[in-house]
Structure 1
Amino acid sequence: MLRFEDWFWGTPADPTAGVHVLHEHYQMGVTEIEELLAFLTQRKTAEEQYASKLTELSQLKPRADGFGKDESLLAQIFGNAKQEMANLGTCHKQAADQISQLIHPLQRFLDDNRKLSIVRKDKIDSTWKSLSGQRSELEGLVQDYKTKCSAADVEQRKFEQSRSEHDLPSMDVMISMGPRSFTVEDFNTLLLKMQREIRTQDVKSLWGSSKNCFSGDDALQYLRVKLHLDEEGAISMLSQMINEGFIRNIGRGHRFSTSSHYQWKRLSIENEPLHRKTRREAERADFEYRKAVEATEETRLFLESACWEYMNSLQHVETRRMEIFKESLLGLNNAEKSIIAGTRNVCERNQVYLETLSPAKEIEIMIESQRTGNVRLPPAVYHNYYGNSYRDPVFGVSLEDYAASRGRKVPLLVKKCLRAIEDTRQGATERGEGPEVDLWLEPNSNIPALHALRTDLNNSKASLKYLRRLPTSLIIGALKLYLIELPTSVCSDEIYEPLKLLYLSKADDFGPMRIASLRSLLATMPPPHYCTLRLLSEHWHKLIAQLDPEDPKISDFAQNLGHYVLRPRVHTQITLHDKHPVRMMKDLLLNHDKIFSLDEPLELPDPPDDGRSFRSVHISDLEDSEEEDIDETASTRALYDASSRVTGVTSGSSSERSMRTGYSLTLVGDNLSDRRASLSDRGVSLASLTMGSFLANGLRRDSTESHRSGATIGGAIRSVGDHVNVPLGVDRRDSSDIAPSSVGRRSSSSFSEHPTATPATGLLTPVAGDSDDEDLDIQISADGIVTSRTSSASGSAVDLLTGTNSVSGGSDEMVSPLVELPALKIVEDGNESEDIDVFSGRVELA
Structure 2
Amino acid sequence: MPSFADSFWSNDYAAGLGVLFGKLQQGVVENRQVLTVARMRAEAEEVYGQRLADIPTAVDKVQGGFYRDDGASVRKAYDGVRTEMEEAAKNHKKIAQNIRDLVVNPFSRWCDAHETRIQESQDELQTRIKAHDKQAEAVKKLRSNYFNKCRLVEDLEEENKLAFQDPEISPKPMQSIPEIKVEPHQEAEEEEEDEPYEIGDETYAPDQVKKIIAHMLNNIKMGETKVPILGTYQNTSAGSDIVEYLQRNMGTTSVSYAERIGQDLVTNGFLRLIGNVGNTFANSSRMFYQWRPKAFKMSGVPEKKTPVSRTFSLPVSTNSDGTDSPVVGTVSEYLANWNVLNTARPNETPAEKMRREAKEADDKYKAGVQTLDEMRCELEEAIFLHLKFLERCELDRLKAIKTVVLDFSGTISNVIPSLQSTVDNMMLYQETVQPLGDLRYLLENYRTGSFTPKVVVYENYYNKVDEQTFGVDLEARARADKKRVPVIVTTLLTYLDHHYPDLEGDEARRGVWLHEVPLTQTHKLRAKINNGKPPALEVFSEFDVPTVASLLKLYLLELPDSLVSSHVYEIIRTIYSTSAPDSKDGTRSEANRISILQQTLSQLRLTNIATLDACMNHFTRLIDLTSADEEYITKLATSLAPCVLRPRTETSLTLEEKHSYRLIRDLFAHKDAIFSELKRMSTLGSSGSISGNGNRPRAISTDESNRKAHMEERTRALLEKSGGGGGSSRSRATSPAPSPRGHRRDRSSGGAETRFPSLGPILPKRTSLEVPDEAGMGMGMGLSHPADGHFGGSLPSVVAEQVAKITESESTPEKRNSLGRSGARFVGGRRVAPPAAGTPPPAGGLENSSNASHGVTLVDAPMDY
TM over 0.5: no
TM range (shorter): 0.3 to 0.5
TM-score normalised by the chain length of structure 2: 0.32
- Where relative contact order (Cα < 8 A, 6+ residues apart) is larger, the structure is 2
